Amino acid sequence: MPLVPPPFDPELAAALELVGELVPPAITLDHLPVAREGVGALLPPDETLTGGGAFEVEDRTVPGPAGAPDISLLICRPAAPAHDDPRPVVYHVHGGGMILGTNRFGMDVVLEWAKELDAVVVSVEYRLAPENPYPAAVEDVYAGLLWTAEHAKEVGGDAERIVIAGSSAGGGLTAALALLARDRGGPRPLGQVLMCPMLDDRNDSPSVRQMEGIGIWDRTSNETGWTALLGERRGGPDVPAYAAPARAEDLTGLPATFLDVGSAETFRDEVVAYASRLWQAGGRAELHVWPGGFHGFDAFAPQAALSQTARAARIQWLRRLLGE
């Protein structure tokens, strides 16, 4: 018996009709060159990232994982003189289903936080699948966090107030990064922001099946992304938690976590389950399920009322976390 999908928010449904002309629900590897070209056309230039002079923008090449290429970090620092105390740091991991995007992708959201919170943003470039399967991406992301923590003072930031954050695949990599940092005794982020995170390679929850062929990033796209990352291991018994954080058996000792997801998207059930398991492990977590939201709705329709509410909730949580 087919599952009936939940309705989209009416304002978002109208936006989705326009978005759907550019972004199909299902992406396969055959579509990848065109999809990458499309994402590339949407990336903001430095002139946009500066926010009219609000930020100083720098591309920095830093050491990657042992035996791997160097990685690129995009650093955006408030141009205004700093106060006596160093600024908090948002370490950003971009989305793109493990197969798309660069460290400029999704920066509009985190730069909005930086303006409100007087924060430094460091956005990491990581190797994409399928050319670079697991563990390339998460190891790049970890190497970037190591550099950021070690050089926080150099970029005007506070190594004790690093928040890691990402959306979609970036949210999944952020969750994996928190696990990896915990298990390796690495930098301990103050918090993590997981926006519609991609957490579970098994791709068979009720929300996955409800949204098949609908919205943005459906079951076919999800299979494409996870298979590109994991190959034949996808969905099998030996997938590590650093690839798919939903596989983690131990969620203790993780930083305070903000999670949000739309009610009408593929990742809904895995995000809700992950939040529940964080609570069950004694963790601090705040979960929002936005009614009628499709995947990445606030990025595609930032002026919609629900998008504005979602964005405000993240900033409010960050304010509380940082004691602003």
The residues, ordered by sequence, that sit 6+ positions from 308 with a Cβ below 8 Å of its Cβ are 302
Look at residues 64, 102, 255, 73 and name the one whose alpha carbon lies nearest to residue 175: 255
The DSSP element (H or E) to which 145 belongs, if any, is helix 136-150
In which band, very low, low, confident or very high, does the pLDDT at 163 lie, cut at 50, 70 and 90?
very high
CB contact at 8 A, 56 and 80: no
Name the strands in the sheet holding 87-93, side by side, starting at the edge strand that comes first in the sequence.
Answer: 55-62, 71-78, 120-124, 87-93, 157-167, 191-195, 256-262, 285-290
Alpha-carbon gap, residue 177 to 175, rounded angstroms: 5
CB contact at 8 A, 34 and 20: no
DSSP structure string for 215-284: SSS-HHHHHHHHHHHHGGGTTSTT--TTT-GGG-S--TTPPEEEEEEETTSTTHHHHHHHHHHHHHTT--
Q: Could you report the per-residue pLDDT of 120-161, keeping only the tens digit for each?
A: 999 999 999 999 999 999 999 999 999 999 999 999 999 999
Alpha-carbon gap, residue 70 to 61, rounded angstroms: 6
Task: Tell the residue number behind the tokens 């098949």, with chain if given.
Answer: 212
pLDDT of residue 89: 98
CB contact at 8 A, 76 and 56: yes
Q: Could you report the per-residue pLDDT of 264-319, keeping only the tens digit for each?
A: 999 999 999 999 999 999 999 999 999 999 999 999 999 999 999 999 999 999 99
What's the Cα-to-Cα distance from 256 to each of 36, 111, 163, 175, 197, rounded to whole Å?
33, 21, 9, 11, 16
pLDDT of residue 280: 98
| HEC sequence for 164-182 | EEEECHHHHHHHHHHHHHH
CB atoms within 10 A of CB 276: 12
Alpha-carbon gap, residue 292 to 304, rounded angstroms: 12
The DSSP element (H or E) to which 57 belongs, if any, is strand 55-62
Total-model pTM:
0.97
Average pLDDT (66-92) is: 94
pLDDT of residue 31: 87
Alpha-carbon gap, residue 125 to 94, rounded angstroms: 8
Average pLDDT (58-79) is: 97
pLDDT of residue 41: 73
Q: Could you report the per-residue pLDDT of 199-226, keeping only the tens digit for each?
A: 999 999 999 999 999 999 999 999 999 9
Alpha-carbon gap, residue 54 to 32, rounded angstroms: 35
Residue burial 169-202, b: 16+ Cβ < 10 Å; e: rest = bbbbbbbbbbbbbbeeeebebbbbbbbbbbbbbb
Backbone angles phi, psi at 306, to 5 degrees: -65, -35
Backbone angles phi, psi at 252, to 5 degrees: -80, 160
